[in-house]
Structure formats: structure tokens, C-alpha cells
């Protein structure tokens, strides 16, 4: 991992440390995808005991939701400091979860471990030398046959890409992050759902798509929701 990864590690560890004492709430798209039903959501809902990996769990806002639902929850984050902080929060709340240091392209679990992966606002983060496809390949490795990926995927029109530099591999070098966490880091973005499906399709199938276009008082957050199944499933 080069200096790019080291910089974002320090930024996010500081970001979560500053919020350690705050109560946190789950992300809306995660609540809706896992707990609600929609006409174009082709998704076998997890049941109690299913193994779920929460990638980039951060402050644990979605980890709590998954544990409350009775799932067997594991998670990865990019620094030991973030892991320790959130593990402490989970322990204080009485949740038994397995949280480890890992990255999108390097997940410290065996092949075929999980029934579901949740990658909320994180799958498109690309470390030095890695592409989004490397992240997806690693997700597919740790998913069981028939397993589902539930992810948010960046929309090129979103605020984070203002003045970003387009790189030859299709990723964007962030230049103007209002939160100061991702400057000089690479994120992969898409313009529409067909291009997402095409990019993901060597590894995944049975796609369901949604999207959000929100203006949070001057922060224009635009994102795609993707639910898909590891290829080779029945």
C-alpha cells in the first residue's frame, strides 16, 4: 500500500475518532434493501444465522442493524484504530461481531465464507495499484455460491467528483472533497446502470438497481444502489 492508502487511512481514523461518542443511525438504503420489498428488487432476503460481511463498517451504523436482525456479522475496516473503536462500541451494546483490519482488495477471510456482503459507500475506493474490478474479484472470492452483494456505487455527477482528474483506468483522482478525507485518492464512478452491469457482469448476475439524487443543502449526493448475485449460482 502506497502513500495514497496511508493518507486516507489516517484521515478516516481521525474522522471516526472525532465522532466516537456520538449515537449513530443506519444508512437508509441499507434499511430499505435488507428490510423492505420493492417491485424491481430481485433479492433473497437474509435470515437469522446467515453470514454477512460489512465492508468499510466505519462507526458501525449498519453493523448494529445487521446484528439486530440476527445475522452472523463480520466486518472489515482499513485501520486497527477504527476496528478497535467500533469493536468497543459493539461490545458496549452487547453485540458479538467479528471485526478485522482489511481492504476492498484484501479481505482476511477464507474463500466462500459469506452469504452476503454489504459494501455501503466503499466498494469504489481504489488503493494504489488496484482497480474496482480487483475489489469485486475479492468480494466474489469470499462469497458463497449463491451469495449476494449489496453495494452503493458512485455516480459521476456526485459532489465528490467536482474538479476530479479523469485517469486512464477510468477512475477519478479526487481534488475537492469538502470533508478533506479523500483528496488525491482514486474513486471509480459510473454514468448509468447499464455500464455498472457490464462492468460487474464477469463476476455477478441477477442485477437489481436503484439510485438516489439528493441535495443536502448544497452537497449534491448522487449514487446508484446495486444488488447482484455471485455468478455460478443456480
Domain regions of the chain by residue span: 3-157+191-230
pLDDT of residue 4: 57
| Residue 1 pLDDT > 60 | no
Residue closest to 66 by CA, chosen among 125, 152, 138, 150: 150
The mean predicted confidence, pLDDT, of the chain is: 95
The model's confidence at residue 2, banded by pLDDT at 50, 70 and 90, is: very low
Dig out the grid coordinates for 145 from the structure. 455460491
What are the start-end ranges of the H helices in the chain? 3-17, 28-35, 61-68, 80-93, 132-142, 193-200
pLDDT of residue 23: 87
What are the pLDDT digits (tens) for 124-141? 999 999 999 999 999 999
Query: Dmax of the chain from CA atoms?
Result: 47
CATH number of 3-157+191-230: 3.40.50.150
Q: How far apart are CA 182 and CA 56, in angstroms?
A: 14
**What whole-number percentage of the chain has pLDDT above 70?**
97
The model's confidence at residue 217, banded by pLDDT at 50, 70 and 90, is: very high
Amino acid at each position: 500500500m502506497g502513500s495514497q492508502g496511508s493518507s486516507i487511512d489516517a484521515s478516516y481514523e481521525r474522522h471516526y475518532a472525532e465522532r466516537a461518542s456520538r449515537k449513530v443511525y443506519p444508512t437508509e438504503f441499507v434499511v430499505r434493501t435488507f428490510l423492505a420489498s420493492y417491485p424491481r428488487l430481485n433479492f433473497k432476503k437474509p435470515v437469522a444465522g446467515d453470514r454477512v460481511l460489512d465492508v468499510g463498517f466505519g462507526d458501525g451504523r449498519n453493523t448494529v442493524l445487521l446484528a439486530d436482525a440476527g445475522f452472523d456479522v463480520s466486518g472489515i475496516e482499513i485501520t486497527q484504530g477504527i476496528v478497535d473503536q467500533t469493536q468497543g462500541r459493539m461490545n458496549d451494546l452487547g453485540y458479538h461481531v467479528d471485526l478485522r483490519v482489511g481492504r476492498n482488495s484484501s479481505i482476511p477471510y477464507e474463500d466462500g465464507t459469506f452469504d452476503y456482503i454489504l459494501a455501503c459507500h466503499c466498494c469504489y475506493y481504489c488503493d494504489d495499484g488496484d482497480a474496482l474490478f480487483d475489489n469485486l474479484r475479492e468480494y466474489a472470492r469470499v462469497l458463497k455460491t449463491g451469495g449476494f452483494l449489496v453495494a452503493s456505487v458512485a455516480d459521476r455527477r456526485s459532489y465528490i467528483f467536482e474538479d476530479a482528474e479523469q485517469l486512464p483506468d477510468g477512475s477519478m483522482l479526487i481534488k475537492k472533497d469538502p470533508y478533506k478525507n479523500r483528496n488525491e485518492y482514486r474513486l471509480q464512478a459510473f454514468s448509468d446502470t447499464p455500464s455498472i452491469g457490464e462492468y460487474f457482469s464477469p463476476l455477478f448476475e441477477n442485477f437489481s438497481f436503484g439510485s438516489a439524487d439528493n441535495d443536502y443543502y448544497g452537497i449534491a449526493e448522487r449514487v446508484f444502489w446495486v444488488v447482484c448475485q455471485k455468478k455460478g449460482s443456480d
